[in-house]
Structure formats: C-alpha cells, structure tokens
Structure 1
Amino acid sequence: MIFDISDANFRDILNKEKFYLPIRWDGANFSMTLEKLFDSYIKELEIYADNPNIYRNGIRIDMKKIKGVCGLLVKSVNYYLNGFPCKAYLTFEKAMNLLMQQPLRIYQKSVMEQFDDGKDLKLFRAVSVGDNKPYKRTRAFHTPYNLRCKVSTNRYSIAGYPSLYLGTSLALCCEEIHMNPHQDFVLASVFKLERSIEYTNTNVRVIELGVKPQDFVDRQNEGARRISFHLLEDDSVKETYLLWYPLIAASSYIRVCKSDPFAAEYIIPQLLMQWVRSEIGKNKGDDYDQLIGIRYFSCASNKASDMGFNYVFPTSGQQKSAELPYCSVLARAFRLSEPTYIHEYKDIQSCERYLVRTTDFGYIE
C-alpha cells in the first residue's frame, strides 16, 4: 500500500515521545520490545492510510516496504538470540537490500568534492593509554591488525576486527570511552579527510544513522550535531526517513547493563557493521577506491546523544606494509595531528581548540 501524508501528519507522527531516540528500556526481552515499537509505528502510519484526504505532492509512504524492513529486523534478532548468527545476517541483508533501494542521504563523495557540504570536516579521536610517554600518530589510529586480540565488542563493531572511531567533538570522544582525561592518561588527535587527487582516489560513502525523529520537529537542532534544518525540510528526505527509522531505532537502544558480557542492544548495529564490511571491496579490485562508514549519534546516554556525531570506518583488511599493520585505505584517506595529552590543558574544550588550530597533519607512514 502506497499513500501520501501531509507535512503536518509527518511531524505529528515523529513528535510522539515513544518514537524519540535513543530509547531507554527495561532490559527484559529485546525482541518483544522491538516488535512492540514497530507495531506501534506501523499503526501510527496506517492511521493516515484510511484518511480520505489526498495530498498532492505530499510525503509518500510505502507501507509494504516499511513492514518488510520491520519484519526482517525482528526476524534477524530472533535468529541471533536463538543461536543462528548466520541466518540472522542473511535476514538482515534482505532488510538492507530493501533500504538501499531508497538510501537515506548517503554521503558518497569523489576525490573532486568535499566530504561534508563543502566544509572542511575535522574529526577527533581520544585514546586511553596507561602511561605518560610520548606517542606517535600511529597510537591515535585504529588498533593495528597484529593486536586484534585487543578489539572488544562494542555497539558498532566486529569483535576482533579493527575499525577507526571518530567524533565531531573531543568531549563526545571522551564520553564514548568512559574516560576522565584529568584522572586518566588520554591522548587526543584531530583527523582530516584527504581530498588530494595526487595522494588518494578514495570515494567516501557514509551510511546515515545520525538523524533522530526529534530533529524534524525541533528547529533548534543545529547545535553540536549540526544537522541543517533546510536539508530536513526536503520531502524526499522525509519519505526516506520513514523507511529507515526502524533500522535507526533498532540500533539506538541504550544499553541496560554495561557490565554484562552480551548486549542484545548491539545485535542490529553489529550486523550492520558486517554488512558495511562486506560492501568494502565487494567488486574485485575496488578496495583502494572506496571508504564506507556509518555516522550515528551516541547511545551512551540521552545527554551524549546530543553532543555530536560519531563516525566508524571498518578497516579494509589491506595492510599498508609489513612494518605498518594498519589499513592502507584509511591510511591514505586521513591525515592526523600528532597526539597530545588532554590533561595538559585547562579542560577538554581548550584541548579541542588547540587541535582545531593545528596545522601539523601527517599520514600514517
């Protein structure tokens, strides 16, 4: 069933608190909780299917696709919880096939374009270290391939497989690693995406999971997360968001117990990471000309979710050299500053201001 709704209807749906993200839940049964959310979401949309009003050039809803995505995501979770991770991924892949027919503002930039709306995007990384020694740029890069045993499970991760995690603010980076930079030794570095055609031919694709329902309603959202309200006014973006909301919601449950070894809240985002990894180098010989990542808001807490965007880029599996066990694609795609200790500055913001002003960028080499 396909029908149109007005902009007012769209805002009314997303302005319901039960659909706000991230979601705090009771931790009892993740599959049932997710199914209940999706059932409620579908019912809200179907209210307008029976509305006799016809909106010309309205926001189009494809209920068959939305129901298909919801059903496949719940089925994936059930497979995983019942001990069938392979079936879970294959089912999730079907959901992604539906979603990728109508991608949500995927950033795909060639070497001749800027990465983010013509702006020079700077991203930060914070790394906890156990001492006060001087470190080179490599310490602020992703976990090296030869230390994959150090790669634990996180929301957007593949256990044992290195990825590069970056954030749009240094405070957000510290929040994500649960470190107090004035009590712990924390290194900070700033990253810039390399756009020089002489050095890299990398195209960039970023799966957009960083938009909340609240962003379409709250005109004050252009703060730390910097989502242009003008972009969110586009009807095609609104149509696409209604389709992608189930995936974003399924990836945005706040973890109930951080001390438990398993988190059901991580099932869908980890399946997404596997899907992204499978897309890198999908066609033989293209490992060196594409970089695929995910942009998302933090789900560490409601407060953290408004502190900026996180980016994660899985490594390609290609090693730069025998001496440098780092991803060759990421090493060519980013330049970064020499790491500095945050505790040497008055506060996190002072350190960030220093990094923003730095011109000392170099490659992993």
Structure 2
Amino acid sequence: MKLTEFFNDDFFSLPRTQGPKEDYKTFVNRVLNEFLKKIDNVENFEDVPFNKFLLNERQNFLVNQLKSTISIYYDGKPAQALKEIKPALDSNIKDFEDFLNVREFEPSSNFFRIRIHKHNYPLKSENFFHIPFDLRGKIKTQRFSIPGFPSLYLGNSAYVCWEELNRPNLNDFQIVRLKSTKHLKVIDLAPPKGDNIEPYEYYKYLMIWPIVFACSVRVRNYDDFFKPEYIIPQLLLQWVREDNRIDGISYQTTHINFTESLSEGEFLNIVLPVKENKTKGLCAVLESKFQMTEATSVQLNQCSTHGIIGGGGAFQYNNDKIKKIELIKGIPTDYNISVFGGLEDVLSKMECNKITKP
C-alpha cells in the first residue's frame, strides 16, 4: 500500500464532529485508539521507507500524552497540562523541523482580515490588526488563543475570513488586505494539498496527525463558555509562543465539511501571537512584518466608480490557492468570479501602507 492510498481512508478526513452521545474526552480517546490500530496494521508503505517499531513507539507516546493532557486539563490544572504536552511535541520533532511542517511565507504574501461593521464609514486600518494590549479584556476565547494575550488572526482568502465569522451578511463587514514585509515561519497543520506532493510530506503529516485531529474537532456548543475542543490548540499556541524561531500556526478551517463540500483549494487560517508584552498599543514585532490597505466593503465598492462587486464578471486578480467554493449545496462557484474574488481584486489594486498605531 502507498501512503497516499492510506490517507484515502475517510477516517483521516478533517474536521471531525463528535457523536451525539459522546462527550469530548470520550470521543477523542476513541478516535485516537482507532488511529493506533490503523498504524499497527501497517506493515509497509511502498513509497516511503520507515521503521515500523519506531513509528508505533512514537505514535503511542504521542497519543498517550494527548490523552493525559486532556485529563489533566479537565482536572483543573492547565499549567500542568502544558507541561504534559511538551515532551510529546518535543519527542516527535527531533531537530524541530523533521516532522512538524514548518511552512514559510515569502515577503509580499497576501492575507486578509475582516471586521463586522454595519456602517458605510470605513473603519481605520488599526482596527484590523490585533487587539491592543490595553484592551486585553476584549479578547475572546478562540480555537487558537491564549487567554488575555493578543494574537493576529488572518485568512489566506476573503472567503475563509467570512466563513470564520459564520457567514455574516455581505453588507455587515469590512475587509483589508495585509502584505507581509518579511518571511513568516509557521507550523502548518493543514494536510498536504496540490500536485506533485512528495510522499515524505504525507509521512510527516501522518506523524503529527493525532495533534492535527485534536485541533480539528468542531465545537459542539458555541454558547458554552468552556469549549473542550479548544484545549489542545490553545496549549499548542502557548508552546509555539515560547519558541522565537516560529511566528505562529496555520491551520485548515473547521467551518467547511471537506468530506461533502465541492470546494476546491487551500482554505487556511493563520494565527500569530504577539512577540512582546506591553501595557499599551500594538506589538512592534508584528507591526514590522506587515503593511495594510485601507478598509473596503461590498457596499463601499458598489458606491465607488472603480466598479461593482457582484460576481459573474471577470477580474484581473487571481487567487491561485482557491479554485471553487460551494456557497449553495451542490453548486460550486469559480472563486475568482465570486463576490469574494471581486473583493480581493479590488484590494489588490489598493496600496499597502505601514500599520497605523491606535
């Protein structure tokens, strides 16, 4: 069996949803145990040489540490839970980059960020960066977050940003484009995508799949204050925060059911925790890594002489990361002629400037 064929099993499709009668802890333990059985049944991969004993040993250790970490967190000991997960992460990466996929975004890479705003006066650009240090109290708990600690959340497309906010009305948000000015190094938890992927990339993904899975469980109750689905991703971000070689984490959105969706492409979120601790303002380290456009929106562009964003037309801008999106069940839409492709087309023509401090 080839490793690429091994991953064709629906078991590896993410994100995952808990069963109706399972609590989070029971669900995660069940899936991780099933993962170990699948690994144990592998005798060889035709396209990747590996040591079966070493593979089983590492995966068993990683799975047991993840289970133990969740149990300790449930016992009201989050600091001890972080200590528990560290050896598992360290033991599985040797020289840090062996198994965790450290992805590098080149300077001038484009990212997007949206904010809910129901008025036609453009928000100032600083409102689209991370929450300032002096407004820590406004930081909400998210999948990848550190309580009370600001982070910058970005998407690799306007569409992903929209999905992350649970599809707000098109007239109720504004959007900016951020352009990186320096190299960004992130731990990439997304599965390998694209043509001509080397088999070893799938092997690296296999080695961290238990972590990726634990970070990709859909939230059952969004109204709950405590969301157990956030335990592992939040601890992982704290671990990343302590390593100055890494800027953040990129991960596949959990708002799209890729098993059933006709969407095609790479739908990434990026989280970048601040690199300093201040009492006021923005992180100077993150500021130095980006420039940003002014804000725009669907309505503002409908009022503009630059053109109307409505879909159905051809735009010069091309987001080569996304081919199709499924806005309506069973009806795929070419991304670059969608309303989101239109927004990106407009933003691509807008100048990026230095981040304005609030």
TM-score normalized by the length of structure 1: 0.78
Letter in 2 for 1:238: Y
Kindly indicate whether the alpha-carbon contact (under 8 Å) linking 1:291 and 1:313 is maintained by their aligned counterparts in 2: no
Output the CA distance in 1 between the equivalents of 2:58 and 2:341.
Answer: 44
Matched, 1:139 2:139: no
Residues 106-152 of structure 1: CA distance to partner in whole angstroms, max 9, x if unpaired?
025xxxxxx34xx8420000012354433322111111111111101
Match of 2:218 in 1: 254
Counterpart in 2 of 1:224? none
Say which of 327, 346, 351 aligns to 2:343: 351
**Matched residue type, 1:94:** P
- Matches of 2:345 and 2:281 in 1, distance apart? 31
1:314 matches 2:273: yes
Asked if the contact 2:171/2:297 (under 8 Å) is kept, the reply is no
**Cα distance change on mapping 1:157 and 1:342 into 2, 3 Å:** farther
Q: Is the 8 A contact 1:128 1:179 kept in 2?
A: no
Alignment size in residue pairs: 311
Report the Cα distance in structure 2 between the residues aligned to 1:56 and 1:177, rounded to whole angstroms. 40
Flag the 1:125–1:94 CA change in 2: closer, same or farther, 3 A: same
Runs of 4+ with >4 A deviation: 54-57, 303-307
Q: Which amino acid aligns with 2:276?
A: G
Deviates more, 1:344-353 or 1:20-29: 344-353
**In structure 2, C-alpha distance between the alignment counterparts of 1:26 and 1:308, rounded to whole Å:** 25
Report what 1:335 is aligned to: 291
1:335 and 1:364 in contact (8 A); partners too: no
Match of 2:26 in 1: 32
- Over 3 Å counting, the alpha-carbon distance change for 1:55 and 1:131 in structure 2 is closer
Match of 2:41 in 1: 47
3-state DSSP class of the match of 1:279?
Answer: coil
1-structure distance, mates of 2:354, 2:151: 19
Within 5 Å, which residues of 2 pair with 1:236-247? 237-247=201-211
RMSD, matched Cα: 2.5
Tell me how far apart the structure 2 counterparts of residues 344 and 134 of structure 1 sit (CA, whole Å).
Answer: 8
Matched residue SS, 2:288:
helix
Query: Are 2:4 and 2:202, in contact at CA under 8 Å, matched by a contact in 1?
Result: no
Residues 156 and 82 of structure 1: is their aligned pair in 2 closer, same or farther, counting only changes over 3 Å?
same
2:187 is matched with which residue: 207, 220, 236?
207
Do 2:248 and 2:270's aligned partners in 1 also have CA atoms closer than 8 Å?
Answer: yes
Q: TM-score, normalised by structure 2?
A: 0.79
| Cα distance change, pair 299–55 in 1 and its aligned pair in 2 (3 A) | closer
One of 49, 64, 77 as aligned partner of 1:58 = 49
Matches within 5 A, 1:283-298: 292-298=247-253
State the shift of 1:263 in Å: 1.1
- Structure 1, unaligned stretches of length 5 or more? 1-7, 109-114, 196-202, 216-226, 281-289
Q: Residue 64 of structure 2 aligns to which amino acid in structure 1?
A: G
Deviates more, 1:86-95 or 1:298-307: 298-307
Tell me the equivalent position of 1:268.
Answer: 232
How far apart, CA to CA, are the structure 2 residues paired with 1:128 and 1:17? 36
Residue aligning to 1:162: 150
| Contact 2:240–2:246 (CA under 8 A) maintained in structure 1 | no
Shift of 1:254: 0.9
The amino acid of 1:296's aligned partner reads Y
Q: Structure 1 residues 299-308 or 15-24, which shifts more?
A: 299-308
- Counterparts in 2 of 1:21 and 1:255: CA distance versus 1, 3 Å: same
- For residue 11 of structure 1, what is the aligned residue in structure 2? 4
Q: Which amino acid aligns with 1:354?
A: V
Identity of counterpart residues, as a percentage? Answer: 26
Q: How does 1:185-196 map to 2 (within 5 A)?
A: 186-195=173-182
